[in-house]
Structure 1
């Protein structure tokens, strides 16, 4: 059964998770000319955290230097997507773990030999084991990583791929975003609300819940998706998108997030970051 599942997944699989969101600063998604400015929840979050990283990632298009943690997270998302595409009768805990092992084996030997990679592999496997014991493996998601693109204003478009959309008993929708890291002290509700806006506008159906599922500890964090909360999130996204589009400078913001930045190798604040990491222990 697992072998058959592997063959079906291999036949349907696309190479990796969705390509990294690049695209020029003043052009449309994937380089297509468009007068509208296109943003995703990630793009907005990157700019808020550090405009300089935003410049490196979306304007200069520097190649990111991803850490093992990033690749493991992508692998887990890929495996969950493919697992829930299988026929219900084939979705067993053993199948889920076998899909992960297969995905791990497909990574380059150089990556698998990186310091910390084996530990992260075992951690991801434990996360999936716990997920299989905790969640309904026979669930029938309505959509898995659908690409959605909706207009927030005549000049601003929101795009992205929510991990999963489930249908609730009352016909409303539940937007789910998997997280492989530890829950932060403060959860970014704005990201969930933007996904809810995308799904609600894109599918023309009401969203009643939007949740982060933290695979490490099994916690679920759900954001309020009232009409007022979504309207505020939409207005803030439009205002921020217009600020980004008109920005003439992109200052760096040094802080703990720098330790995880895939563009640290190119950052003009590297020396300051190294000093503060040592002094502040982050």
Structure 2
């Protein structure tokens, strides 16, 4: 699943406008070459069981709030996991290679681990006391500089007083300082888009880490989001410069050990494929897996 961008005409054809999403902005910040591999070359990656589990848990939590209030309990939430997995498998049949068929005992234990994460969610809050305005909300806005921002927010809560809270579920454990900064980058992105769209500054950004049952709450202010907007503009201009020149340089780090594209990276003795030029159509869409952790 990918998001859809506004289109603009070019001659006899129509193309999507390139956009910036939190995942793709994070990729470029982490390693410009990783951004190129994912956005320009569109090289395939093998999702992990943990990534797919996160997607299935997110789907169950979205469906949970579509149930009547009286049914928003752990038992009903667990019943949503298998349908969520089957739907994802229909959308992306290649994920079936993660297990040896529906009778694989490892699939059973994997779904049980997802149930454990859902149980943890209920220890953090009671969904029967909430009525979100939206779940898995697609947001999009264009900044004054012309940069198109796009993303998906796990949940938007609006209090009777009108105050807005943005909620993001994380199926991993609460991160250390670097990981926390990455998570807050994502949430500030959503806060900025919502602020520019509605003219209302979110009162709170809430990250819920299900693996260790911890929550991180953050209150943004207007000056901070204005600085963040300048940061996103700078990132986008750097992306465009790299796109014109083809100079997407690697940024080696410990994260290289988890990168599917390490064999192609010159920092590790590899050779990237020939640069195909700046991509058209979309240069910033997010997949379902991007919207988990």
Please report the TM-score for the alignment, with normalisation by the length of structure 1. Answer: 0.78
Q: Distance in 2 between matches of 1:151 and 1:142?
A: 23
Identify the match of residue 148 of structure 1 among 124, 139, 158. Answer: 139
The residue number in structure 1 matching 2:221 is: 226
For structure 2, the residue ranges without an aligned partner over 5 or more in a row are 90-94, 271-293
| Partner residue, 1:112 | 99
Q: Which residue of 1 aligns with 2:126?
A: 136
1:58 to 35, 39, 46: 39
Distance 1:47 1:120, change over 3 A: farther
In the superposition, relative to structure 1, how do residues 68 and 39 fare at CA in structure 2: closer, same or farther (>3 Å)?
A: same
SS at match of 1:222: strand
What do residues 47-81 of structure 1 show as CA deviations (whole Å, max 9, x unaligned)?
01111110010011112211111111111111111
Aligned CA distance change for structure 1 residues 202 and 20 (closer, same or farther; 3 Å): closer
User: Normalising by the residue count of structure 2, what TM-score does the alignment of the two structures yield?
Assistant: 0.75
CA contact (8 A) 1:65 1:263 kept: no
Is the Cα–Cα contact under 8 Å of residues 128 and 215 in structure 1 kept in the other structure? yes
> What is the rounded CA distance, in whole Å, between the counterparts of 2:71 and 2:35 in structure 1?
42
Taking a change above 3 Å as real, the CA distance of residues 115 and 56 of structure 1, as seen in their structure-2 partners, is farther
State the partner residue of 1:164. 155
Bigger relative contact order, structure 1 or 2 (CA pairs below 8 A, ≥6 apart): 2
What is the CA RMSD across the aligned residues, in angstroms?
Answer: 2.7
Equivalent pairs, count: 246
| Larger mean Cα displacement after TM superposition, 194-203 or 44-53 | 194-203
Change in Cα spacing, 1:263 to 1:67, as seen in structure 2 (3 Å) is farther
What SS is found at the alignment partner of 1:32? strand
> Any stretches of 5+ residues in structure 1 without a counterpart?
1-17, 273-282
